[in-house]
Amino acid sequence: MKKKKFKIALAQIKIEQKNIEENCKKIFEKIEEAAKENVDIICFPELATIGYTITTDELKKLPEDFNNTFIEKLQEKAKFFKIHILVGYLESKTTKKSRDFYNSCIFIDDNGKILANARKFYLWKKEKTKFKAGNKFVVKNTKFGKIGILLCYDLEFPEPARIECLKGAEIIFVPSLWSFNAENRWHIDLAANSLFNLLFIAGCNAVGDSCCGKSKIVEPDGSTLIEASGTNEELLMATIDLEKISEVRAKIPYLTDLKK
């Protein structure tokens, strides 16, 4: 039976570029901090383990197993603290023909089980030279309802959130590295996708290195439930009440009037 009310946290952090060890340490600290606040689900920004500035040549020099220990420790933390975790990270996949990198988000439940690995579907400009694109939009059924995942630029297209909505998503987490120059679109895209699909959206951004912060949780009617600062590291926490979805959908008939 799913819980109608649960507590989520968005870990708005400053990511140390290319410093995997330091970033992982910070991630583990924030998980422990959230657990002390009885948080059920914590989300971190896009590429939280390594940052955005790593080059193609630097990617190729990374050891094959650089992610294995991190993900195993995440699973241990999730199980120990009984908390669901979403982290944007650099995924490496080696085949006989090539070694590919993805801009991904790992989703782990409070038993330490990997529920999903979502890969960024839309790649922004030169990201295409570093990463391979994902090919699906992830929605997972959990004890907190159906949870969708989009990564940053995926939010700038109307289709991904609608697809996840039609798959039953009740809340969509959006790990991001969103710039100051595009801050107005951050607010518009989060609110619009939430309103058009009448669901919760939680956008987790970073600060520093030209990121605009302003992590926020948007309610099903497009209004802001809670918002972080534009410059400070912080753990943004709020209680999600899924009953609000049915209340809003009873008033706004977008989905019942939608021609499929």
Hey, which bits of the chain come out as E strands? 5-12, 41-43, 84-94, 99-108, 114-119, 138-142, 145-149, 171-175, 200-204, 207-208, 211-212, 216-218, 224-227, 234-241
**What pLDDT, in 10s, does the model give residues 59-98?**
988 887 777 789 999 999 999 999 999 999 999 988 888 8
**What pLDDT, in 10s, does the model give residues 28-70?**
999 999 999 999 999 999 999 999 999 999 998 888 777 778 9
Strand partners, 148: 139, 172
State the pTM of this model.
0.97
Identify the DSSP state of 210: T
Question: What is the percentage of the chain residues whose pLDDT exceeds 70?
Answer: 100
In order, the DSSP letters of 178-207 are: -BGGGHHHHHHHHHHHHHHHTSEEEEE--E
